[in-house]
C-alpha cells in the first residue's frame, strides 16, 4: 500500500513540475514572437512616411511591452518549476 501511495505522490509531483515547465516554455515562445514583431514594426516605421511611421513605432512599443511581460512570466514559471 505504501508503495502505491509513494508512486502516486511522485507521479503527481512530476505532473506539477511538467506543467510549470510547459508554462515557462510557452511564455518564452511568446516573448520571442513579440520581440520579432517589434523588429518588424521598427523596420516598417523606418521605411514609411508619416503618419504611418508613427503607427508602426507605437505598435513596436506595444510588442516590446508584451515581450517584457512574457519574459517575466517565463522567468517566474521557471523559478516555480525548479523550487
Quick one: CA torsion of 33, 35, 37, 39, rounded to 10 degrees? -150
pLDDT of residue 8: 65
For the stretch 50-57, contacts whose Cβ atoms lie closer than 8 Å and that sit 24 or more positions apart, written own/partner, are none
Q: Which three cell numbers stand for residue 43?
A: 523596420
Burial group, residue 81, by CB count within 10 angstroms (0-12, 13-18, 19+): middle
- Residue 19's nearest CA partner among 77, 70, 69, 72 is 77
In tens, the pLDDT along 22-71 reads 777 788 888 888 888 888 888 888 888 777 788 888 888 898 999 998 88
Per-residue pLDDT tens for 58-70?
A: 888 898 999 998 8
Does the reported pTM lie above 0.75? no
Amino acid at each position: 500500500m505504501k508503495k502505491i501511495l509513494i508512486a502516486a505522490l511522485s507521479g503527481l509531483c512530476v505532473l506539477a513540475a511538467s506543467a510549470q515547465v510547459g508554462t515557462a516554455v510557452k511564455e518564452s515562445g511568446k516573448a520571442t514572437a513579440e520581440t520579432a514583431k517589434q523588429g518588424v514594426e521598427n523596420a516598417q516605421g523606418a521605411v514609411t512616411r508619416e503618419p504611418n511611421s508613427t503607427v508602426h513605432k507605437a505598435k513596436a512599443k506595444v510588442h516590446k511591452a508584451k515581450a517584457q511581460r512574457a519574459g517575466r512570466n517565463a522567468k517566474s514559471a521557471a523559478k516555480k518549476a525548479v523550487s
